[in-house]
Amino acid sequence: MSSMSGQILDAEGGCHCGEVRFRVQGEVLRNVYCHCANCTASKGASPVHLLVVGGEDSVRWLGDPEAVTTRSSGALRLVSCSVCLCPLVQYREGKGFRAVFPVLLDLRRGVVGDDHGADRLPDEWAPTAHLNYENRLFDWHDALPKFRAFGPGDELESDGRSKSPGGA
């Protein structure tokens, strides 16, 4: 599903206020837009761009561990900066991955100006699919594959109809 699957990510990132820094190292399992209710509610936006990285130890905190707060939303663990409350990482215990937000990683190109015009991710970091599309807030008319839940399988049209013959 993801053109990045199998690639190794090795990058640092941090929160908006600069209090928390972290390093992500591991295989990129997915580079996606997520429309699930947890992402929408916890981030206040939908969809959320996620890089899903394999390994429960794929994120290492740099600096003061007291600056990081972990809270639960059902089975989902949400890690944020305790100062600016910026969401940093999310995961489900025992599932073998950590999901990070590419916008927080030091991958941006250009010089960040007052208007943030050059403050963008390189094109190779663009999401490659929509997950949990059945929970979308509105239809997305792009060329990316859209999956009812986590894919692969049960791919959907932009309007939410199943692409599978006889599908729901």
Residues 49-71 pLDDT 10s: 999 999 999 999 998 888 999 98
Q: Determine, yes or no, domain membership for 148.
A: yes
In eight-state DSSP terms, residue 162 is: B
In a domain, 3, yes or no: no
CB 123 within 8 A of CB 132: no
pLDDT classification of 165: cutoffs 50, 70, 90: low
pLDDT score recorded for residue 115: 52
Question: pLDDT, tens digit, for every residue of 119-133?
Answer: 677 788 889 999 999
| Number of domains making up the chain | 1
Tell me if 167 is assigned to some domain.
Answer: no
Interatomic CA distance for residues 75 and 70, integer angstroms: 12
The pTM (predicted TM-score) of the whole model is: 0.84
What per-residue string of b and e applies to 22-48 under the rule 16 or more CB within 10 Å gives b?
Answer: bebebbbbbbbbbbbebbbebbeebbb
| The one-letter amino acid at 104 | L
Over residues 87-106, the pLDDT tens digits come to 999 999 899 999 999 989 98
Q: Using DSSP, how many helices (H) and how many strands (E) does the chain show? A: 1, 11
Q: Is 29 left (phi over 0), alpha (psi -120 to 50) or beta?
A: alpha
Give the domain CATH number at 82: 2.170.150.70
Chain-centroid distance of CA 35 in Å reads: 10
- The string of pLDDT tens digits covering residues 106-160 is 887 655 555 555 567 778 888 999 999 999 999 999 999 999 888 777 888 888 8
19 inside domain:
yes
User: By three-state DSSP, how is residue 35 classified?
Assistant: coil
